[in-house]
Homo-oligomer: A and B are copies of this chain.
Amino acid sequence: MLSKNTVKFIKSLHQKKFRKQERAFFVEGAKNVTELLLSNFTVSHLLCTEKYQEENESLLSSFSGTKILLKPKELESLGTFSTNDQALAVAEIKENRSLELEKGQLILALDDIRDPGNLGTIIRIADWYGISKLLLSTNTADIYNPKVLNASMGSFTRMNFEYVDLVKKLEGSGLPIYGAFLEGMNVHELKGTAEGVLLMGNESNGISSELESIVTKKLTIPAFGKAESLNVAIATAVLCDNLRRIML
């Protein structure tokens, strides 16, 4: 049975203020919920259809939180999906903890990424390219926003992330810091080993001047046509692909 309090609780999690207060967030859809259950997040509530339960019997056998069987219409009234005949789950928000900046890794730093769809897509890209450490400026979108989680297609479960003052975190780290600029080195000519931090800037303004001063390697994605720019998620993918290519 779905109580009024549970409905109220889940609906409150659409807003950042209440996610912060309750230290909880929700994800929806089979893919995201399954990835969440397989991850090290603590899942408190699973709301699912009989269909999802039948298709994920062994996964659910080890689930110890509150499980509630619902009809698609009920699921849809709780989340953001217009159709959801599978599942929705609530989990605990992780503490914001300091990430170690080790050598030999590729780390992604995001400065002021405002659009939740962009952030989610970037997380999926990071996961594809084997990046598991994400540094987020404090004015970047909330990673627990449902739009971010949905766009990440479950990849958020594999990210370690820290909301932090990027200048303080990165200056003096001794790591190469890559950033995309108009007048940088053609990324197709890049040589060497890909380690360090790839820094991506705001959708409209790019990398802030304060952060520009700590970039050690300016990169440019060569243009062959007349588009003025690429979307930040697209640029992140192309840069990650080039950085991983030189590791061959």
Contact = CB atoms under 8 A, between A and B. Distances in A.
Contacts of A245: 188
B124 A230 contact: yes
Given A231-B121, A237-B238, A128 B225 contact: yes
A231 B124 contact: yes
Given A241-B241, A241-B242, A245-B188, A129 B234 contact: no
A126 B158 contact: no
A228 interface: yes
A121 B230 CA distance: 9
Contact of A227 (B127, B221, B225, B234): B127
Given A121-B234, A234-B125, A238-B237, A244 B227 contact: no
A140 B217 CA distance: 40
What size tier do the contact residues of chain A reach?
A: 35 or more
A223 interface: yes
A226 interface: yes
Contacts of A237: 230, 234, 237-238
Given A128-B225, A128-B230, A129-B225, 10 more contacts: A125-B234, A127-B225, A153-B227, A153-B229, A188-B244, A188-B245, A230-B237, A233-B234, A237-B238, A238-B241
